[in-house]
Amino acid sequence: MELHTTRGSLAREDLGLILPHEHVFVDLGPMAAENWRDADPDDVVEVMAPEIERARESGVTALVEATPEGVGRRVDVDLAVSEATDFPIVVPTGIYQEPSIPEWAREASEDELTEWLVEDLTDGVEDTGVRAAWIKVSTDDDDPTGLSPDERKILRAAARAGERTGAAIGSHTLHGEVVHEQLDTIEDVGYDPERFVWIHAQAGDERFHRAVAERGAYVEFDWIGGDDQDDGDYVDRVRRLVDAGDTDRVLLSQDRGWYDPSEPDGGEQKPYTYLTERFLPTLREAGVDEATVRQLTHDNPFEAYAR
């Protein structure tokens, strides 16, 4: 297995701690404004290279960029930051949620979407020469009742592309009920739930965490260092899954960064260092041994996103 990055394909021994859900560049402004199109890579490098250097100094060896189409994916920008810092960034293909699904994706057939995803995963994204490592999908934050027709079409295409290439699917999903629907959908297409990552699992009811892990999917806690929960909540959630024997199904990240072209000078960045400098020491103090910490932060992210 190898992890496809902006610095080439890397083996397990080439890497240490990996952050599985962060952002270097993401446009959170009105999509109609298309601010992401005009962003200058040099401007992003100036702002984000120091953040990458801080991450490296704290022990991070690679990070997974989680920005798909629909919120300003710019793999050329990720590549520019990576080249300026000699730091591996793992980029996705895929499409965001309602109502941010681009019109071209709504008009495309499932077959057309599948071929587009496969091309990004095998030939590279546009003219960057960078192969996407994984597929990012999403579901409507405000709708706990299930997938929209376009979200289902995109997910089915993702499962078909993932089955052909071995690529993981990660889904921004805030409702545990919807995760089970997603797992049913991908299984129907023939995709292995063990290659599925439930992104933002901390937003869902805790009773779904073990159930999703038992179906084989990864459960990702990725707002660590955010304002809505303290570290103790995350420690408890991690320990419950570890104690249940699901250590190999847990991912930890921060959802931090980033340069937002809809904000002056890219907005205000949050360092990528909270996990390494604050949370992992707290996890160790809570009795989680070093071998488990290493599995959570080194082995699991590599296994999840390599192919």
136 is in an annotated binding site: yes
21 is in an annotated binding site: yes
Does this model's pTM top 0.85? My answer is yes
Quick one: pLDDT at residue 139?
95
Which residues span the domain enclosing 154?
3-305
180 is in an annotated binding site: no
State yes or no: pLDDT of 228 exceeds 80: no
Average pLDDT over residues 161-175: 97
For residues 3 and 64, what is the distance between their CA atoms, to the nearest angstrom?
A: 10
Confidence of residue 204 (pLDDT cuts 50, 70, 90): confident
Average pLDDT, the chain: 96
Token couple for 242: 């570890």
Quick one: pLDDT at residue 222?
96
Residue type, 61: T
Q: Do 259 and 268 touch, CB atoms closer than 8 A? A: no
Which residue do the tokens 């019109």 mark?
A: 103
Q: Do 151 and 138 touch, CB atoms closer than 8 A? A: yes
Average pLDDT over residues 8-17: 97
The highest-confidence range among 64-78, 200-214, 217-231, by mean pLDDT, is 64-78
State yes or no: pLDDT of 127 exceeds 80: yes
Confidence of residue 102 (pLDDT cuts 50, 70, 90): very high
Q: Give the pLDDT confidence of 260-285 residue by residue, as tens digits.
A: 999 999 999 999 999 999 999 999 99
Q: Give the pLDDT confidence of 45-92 residue by residue, as tens digits.
A: 999 999 999 999 999 999 999 999 999 999 999 999 999 999 999 999
Closest by Cα among 146, 144, 186, 185 to 168: 186
Average pLDDT over residues 224-251: 93
Residue type, 267: G
Closest by Cα among 198, 203, 267 to 234: 203
Write a three-state SS string for 2-40: CEEECCEEECHHHCCEEEEEECCECCCCCHHHCHHHHCC
Residue type, 215: R
For residues 264 and 268, what is the distance between their CA atoms, to the nearest angstrom?
A: 9
Quick one: pLDDT at residue 143?
87
CA torsion sign for 282, 288, 291, 295 is negative
Please tell me the total number of residues recorded for the chain in this structure.
307
Quick one: pLDDT at residue 185?
97
Residue type, 173: T
Quick one: pLDDT at residue 159?
98
Quick one: pLDDT at residue 85?
98
CATH number at residue 207: 3.20.20.140
Token couple for 231: 């570290």
Q: Do 10 and 53 touch, CB atoms closer than 8 A? A: no
Domain count, the chain: 1
